[in-house]
Structure 1
Amino acid sequence: MVSRVQMRNVELPPSMQRAMAQEAEAVREKKARIIKADAELEAAYKLNEAAEVVMKNPAALELRRMQMITEVGAEQNTTTIVMMPSEFVSAARGLADIGDAFKNGKSLP
């Protein structure tokens, strides 16, 4: 009957060492991807909650815009962010379409 086994000075071949290192790296990458995916999922839920709050009170969106502009100004960046309601963008696109139609001699609908 064997009651104790002791191993000393075990040497692994370089190919086995590389294989073990690759396996360990794959496990680390898998864990990192899972953690990142969980964070993305949590962020999506939080953004959904925020969207619901804004839908209930549209003034919250304007307050958030003003807050973002203040934050950018406090950082003294050279980049200036100008946020405007999407209705302005739609109106500008419509005006551009009218201008193109006029320039091309087409009648307006």
Structure 2
Amino acid sequence: MPIQAIVFLVVIAFLIFQYGVFIFKEYERGVLFTLGRYAGMKDPGLRWIWPGIQKVIKIDQRTITMDIPTQDVITKDNVSVKVNAVLYYRVVSPEKAVIQVEEYNYATSQLAQT
């Protein structure tokens, strides 16, 4: 086998390894898609996927703090009041957060403002 073919195979193997290995921290979960379909969850640790065939989306499961912008509200007796809020939330079901909502962080902040 010529040296160019060996070098080419080593480079391809390195690229597959580099883009196929994921490390999930204890507070992260991975939502796995195979050819665009939901294929399961990846737990913390060193995990392998097939690059180009599978895709993984990391979801942070720690409590997230979000400051809600100050809003002017009018009470029943026509008094203007400024309302400020802080939102605390945590993703309990990562697969639902990815599959059922387009952008779960934005959706949560919009829900808190209503």
Same structural fold, with TM-score higher than 0.5 when normalized by the shorter chain? no
Q: Whose Rg is larger?
A: 1
Structure with the higher fraction of residues in helix conformation: 1
Taking structure 2 as the reference length, the TM-score comes to 0.27
Judging by fraction of residues, say which structure has more strand. 2
Q: Which has the higher contact order (CA 8 A, sep 6+)?
A: 2
